[in-house]
Amino acid sequence: MYQILRAEQLADKIFLMEVEAPRVARACEPGEFVIVKMDEIGERIPLTICDYDREKGTITIVFQIVGASTERMSAMKVGDAFQDFVGPLGRPSEFVKEDVNELKNKKFLFVAGGVGAAPVYPQVKWMKEHGIDVDVVVGAKNKDLIILEDEMKAVAGNLYITTDDGSYQRKGMVTAVVEDLVKNQGNKYDVCVAIGPMIMMKFVCKLTKELEIPTIVSLNPIMVDGTGMCGACRVTVGDQVKFACVDGPEFDGHLVNFDEAMKRQQMYKTEEGRAILRLREGATHHGGCGNCGGDK
């Protein structure tokens, strides 16, 4: 069993947990993920690692309620434990394998949308630990949905925050900030790493392609099973078929077929909707709305 040592709500429907998992903590690298399972009947949930402490033997995960399983998980408290906590899985970020001195000659830009701040954080932290200053753009719908701000400030060279409604710092999408940094402020970037909702990554990649900035994205949002067996995260990258969980989750964003990936992602939302209704309505759930299909 893997005990929860810290549990807190970061924002509406967004939760953080620090879990005791020494073997995972010893081996993990930025960019990798874990699969958690609450109990015998629990769903296997893939989550990108938000942070790790090798000395304490802990892994930090951040998740958003999107279905019945994550809603159940949000109710877990300090002292509770996961039955399974498997990892590290996937491939680490490419820069982990590169020569640090060569990395210091590159200028990195990280772009995080919403909960994407969680997987971006360990990458920026790794950069800081290796003496590399990077620029970070964090975006959310409003101020209340900005997460890990203090943690990001501590490791980013420059942190730019923007909100769709203008309730905190800048107003507008993350793409507007990237365009301003490059076109108006004259910043030059060798690599962009963008992590967040699929639609956000799509438009960041569209912009960085115009700006001729190589861009890496994480396709963790489309993973379901996490082992390559279910096929849910099948995606076309260039002229090749890849699976986010075993070939990624990070890929060349300029080669990802985002439209295809987002269509596949939509296929699983109906089932999630049915599951969360069954959980919330319990014995009163009967499918009478005509849309969810009841318990079929």
User: Is residue 285 situated within a structural domain?
Assistant: no
Looking at residue 52, what is its pLDDT?
95
* Structural domain ending residue among the three candidates 89, 112, 139: 89
Cβ burial, residue 13 (10 Å; 0-12/13-18/19+): middle
Q: Which residues of the chain have pLDDT under 50?
A: 276, 281, 284-292, 294-296
Domain match, 85 and 192 both: no
CB atoms within 10 A of CB 92: 17
Q: Using CA of residue 295, residue 261, residue 33, residue 117, what is the dihedral sign? A: negative
User: Any idea of the CA torsion for 194, 200, 113, 38, to the nearest 10 degrees?
Assistant: -90
Q: Which residue range is the domain that position 56 belongs to?
A: 2-89
Written as one letter, the residue type at 72 is R
* Structural domain ending residue among the three candidates 89, 112, 144: 89
The pTM for the full model equals: 0.85
User: Is residue 272 situated within a structural domain?
Assistant: no
Looking at residue 57, what is its pLDDT?
96
User: Is residue 164 situated within a structural domain?
Assistant: yes
Helix axes 198-210, 258-266, angle to 10 degrees: 180
Domain match, 124 and 84 both: no
CATH number at residue 8: 2.40.30.10
Domain match, 84 and 99 both: no
Domain match, 101 and 158 both: yes
Cβ proximity of 277 and 292 under 8 Å: yes
Looking at residue 239, what is its pLDDT?
87
Task: Please give the Cα distance from 136 to 113 (Å, whole number).
Answer: 11
User: Is residue 113 situated within a structural domain?
Assistant: yes
Domain match, 198 and 112 both: yes
Looking at residue 295, what is its pLDDT?
46
* Structural domain ending residue among the three candidates 89, 115, 150: 89
